[in-house]
Amino acid sequence: MHGQWTGLGEPPQATDGMAPDNWGADGARAYVGKAEWAAVEFVAPADLRAETATDKPCDGPYAWAVIFACFVSLMLSIGINDAYGVYQQHYQLTEFPDATATIISWVGTVQFLVMCVGGVLSGFLCERFDTRVLNAVGAVVMGAAFVAGSFCRSIGGLMATQGLLYGVGASFPFIAGTSIPTQWFTKRRGLATGIALSGSGVGGMWMTSATTAMISSVGRPWAMRITGIVAMLAVLAVSPWMRVRIVPSRSEHTIDWSMVRNPRFLVLLGAVVFAVAAYFGPFYQMPSYSVVVLHKSETWGSNMDTLMNGLSVVGRLAIGLLADSVGPLNLLIANTALAAVSLLALWVAFDTVGTLIAVALLFGFAIGGIVSVIPVVAAQVFGLARIPSIIGLLFIGYFAGGLLGVPPMSALLDNVGHRTDYTGAIWYMALLPVCSLLFLLVLRLMLTRQLRVKI
């Protein structure tokens, strides 16, 4: 059968991360060798029509410079969003004590939702225009948003600046930093992507501590000005290295909306919705929970966010190291199960200091691995050439997850828990990763029914 691999003997070998020409066009083939683990490849036919955007080789020194640039860009985009729990605590307990937790949470929620909506557009733009220029534009808008927010004295003003405007700017380094790393590596793709995406955890970790210290010493306005200026300068500095290596052919310059009719994509999208919904709840509410329920100081509460972000870095790096040998989807399933267990078995059942620390450790590690491996799973299942556009489409799931996560949880805290009883909100948070896990198990069954397959 010319032009199609029958599954007998050695499979055709791919080079440079591209699908070999004699694979079938259906985009999915599985080869089970003599080894205990079977290697499974899922490569989209879009790779066959890809063009090289640069003569820089993959897996080389320049590729690692790109990873560093992505690390910094994510550290100062999504990392700042991860640290919003400090602002949530400050607004809720000090600056706007009469406002509901739901209203205050919308500042950070709008910030993230706009990043996701902008991600769909920026994924398309990254395939048409120079990502280095787009990253630099995003840096300027990010910085301007926080400086403008420093002069706001109302929740509405903060929602427009710290939320809306910052989300617009951050969407460019967010989508570029998330999608570019998979294109620059073939041998250590999981590790490289894990290192790049660990930037968000590092950013959340040090920005949480730095924001707490700045608010205490110079006040919230100057804390925002310093944050905006640092973010702008750092992302501008690394923008020259924020470039793609593979682009679709010129005839393919459009968002691939056909993906929304792909059953595998829809199932992955469902898993992403609930995973993202589960992501921000603990980061937003654990600081105030520490103060209200455990009667700890505000600084101690913000340290819980720092601890979660620190473990999320460890999770990203660990998953990156293991993804190439164990399989990214296998690890995504394992980490989602760990996130569910950490909330259901610990935070739901106990309200002690030791338990909260354990939740921060386990959930931080698990959620870090989840966010770092999603782009690797997408690249493996759908191919490399359209990965910015595909990640952009997945941001629809990020957007839906943002709506499904913090706002309902905060409403439960306000209306059922009366801002003091977190039980209903914690139960809600705990069920979200369970739903994500169910979607991931369905996706794995769609790809293969063999339990011991690396995928």
The whole-number pLDDT of residue 230 equals: 95
The whole-number pLDDT of residue 163 equals: 93
The whole-number pLDDT of residue 44 equals: 38
Give the Cβ contact number of residue 328 at 10 Å. Answer: 29
The β-bridge partners of 30 are 40
The whole-number pLDDT of residue 386 equals: 65
In this structure, what CATH number is given to the domain that contains residue 357?
1.20.1250.20
Contact 280, 405 (CB under 8 A): yes
Q: Is residue 138 part of a domain?
A: yes
Longest dimension (CA), the chain: 72
The whole-number pLDDT of residue 253 equals: 45
In angstroms, the CA 261 to CA 205 distance is: 38
User: What's the pLDDT tens digit per position in 262-298?
Assistant: 899 999 999 999 999 998 889 888 988 998 999 998 8
Q: Which residue has the higher pLDDT, 336 or 51?
A: 336
Work out the mean pLDDT of the chain and round it to a whole number.
81
Residue whose structure tokens are 């790109």: 66
The whole-number pLDDT of residue 192 equals: 84
Question: Is the confidence at residue 40, as pLDDT, over 60?
Answer: no
Range of the domain at 434: 47-454
Query: 48-64 in b/e burial notation, b at 16+ Cβ within 10 A?
Result: bebeeeeeeebbeebbb
Q: Is residue 407 part of a domain?
A: yes
User: What's the pLDDT tens digit per position in 113-152?
Assistant: 888 787 677 766 766 778 889 899 999 999 999 999 999 9
In angstroms, the CA 157 to CA 340 distance is: 36
Question: Is the confidence at residue 67, as pLDDT, over 90?
Answer: yes
Q: Is residue 18 part of a domain?
A: no
- Stretch 231-248: mean pLDDT, rounded? 88
The whole-number pLDDT of residue 66 equals: 92
Give the Cβ contact number of residue 260 at 10 Å. Answer: 12
Question: Is the confidence at residue 166, as pLDDT, over 80?
Answer: yes
Q: Is residue 237 part of a domain?
A: yes
The whole-number pLDDT of residue 23 equals: 35
The C-alpha angle 411, 412, 414, rounded to 5 degrees, equals 65
The whole-number pLDDT of residue 33 equals: 37
The continuous run of DSSP H or E covering 298 comes out as helix 298-326
Q: Is residue 202 part of a domain?
A: yes
Q: Is residue 437 part of a domain?
A: yes
Q: Is residue 268 part of a domain?
A: yes
73 confidence band (pLDDT: 50, 70, 90): very high
Structural domain count, the chain: 1
Which residue type, as a one-letter code, is found at position 327?
A: G
Question: Is the confidence at residue 6, as pLDDT, over 60?
Answer: no
The whole-number pLDDT of residue 10 equals: 36
In angstroms, the CA 384 to CA 348 distance is: 40
Q: Which residue has the higher pLDDT, 16 or 159?
A: 159
The whole-number pLDDT of residue 344 equals: 92
The number of angstroms, rounded, from the C-alpha of 260 to the middle of its chain's C-alpha atoms is: 20
255 confidence band (pLDDT: 50, 70, 90): low
Cα distance from N-terminal residue to C-terminal residue, the chain: 27
The continuous run of DSSP H or E covering 453 comes out as strand 453-454
Contact 324, 190 (CB under 8 A): yes
Q: Is residue 220 part of a domain?
A: yes
The whole-number pLDDT of residue 256 equals: 62
The whole-number pLDDT of residue 406 equals: 84
- Token pair recorded at residue 87: 């602002």
Answer whether 0.85 is exceeded by the pTM. Answer: no
50 confidence band (pLDDT: 50, 70, 90): low
